[in-house]
Amino acid sequence: MMMGKKVRLVHLEKEDLAKSQGWVNDPAIKALMLRVLPVTRMDQEKWLEDIARNPAKMVFAIKLLGTGEHIGNTGFYQIDWLHRRAEFWILIGERGSWGQGVGTEVVRLMLRFGFGDLNLHKIYLHVGSTNEPAISLYKKLNFAVDGRLREHYFLEGNYLDVLAMSILKKDYAG
C-alpha cells in the first residue's frame, strides 16, 4: 500500500471491478483513455486474473483517505525487468475528484514506487495529444515528450495523434 495526503493506493480487488467497468465505459473517460470498445463484466474479471498472474503488470485502486471511496485506478504495464522500464497509466474515474490534485499525488506516488521500490530506469506513457490537463501534469513532473505518433488512434470518427512521453530516473525530482 502507498499513502499520500489525499489518497492511498491498494491492490485492485474483485469488489473494485464494477466501478472500474463503469468508468471505462463512460464515453468521455473512454476517449481520454484512448479506448474504443465497450468493456463487459467478464472482460473486467479476465483483466483482474491477468494482473494476478502477469509479473509485467501492477495495478492499484486509488482510494480517498478518510472515506475509502474508490475513485480510480493506476498502474504499470509492460514492466521490463531486464531494461528496467515500465508503461505508466492512470484513470481518475470519479469526476468530483478531477482538478483536486489527486492525479498529481498519484503520479508522484507511482514515480516514487517505480524508481524506488522497483528500481526502474525509465517510466513512459502514451497520452492523447488533445488531453491538455494530463500533458500539463506530466510536463510539470519532468516527463519529456519523446515523440508524436501521428493519427495513431481512430476514435469517434477521427484519427488522433498520441504523444509518447517518459521520465528517466535521473530526471526524477523525488
Tell me whether residue 138 is one of the annotated catalytic residues.
Answer: yes
Which residue is catalytic, options 138, 153, 159, 172?
Answer: 138
Query: Is 88 in contact with 59 (CB distance < 8 Å)?
Result: no
Place of cell 483536486: 100
Which residues are catalytically annotated?
A: 138
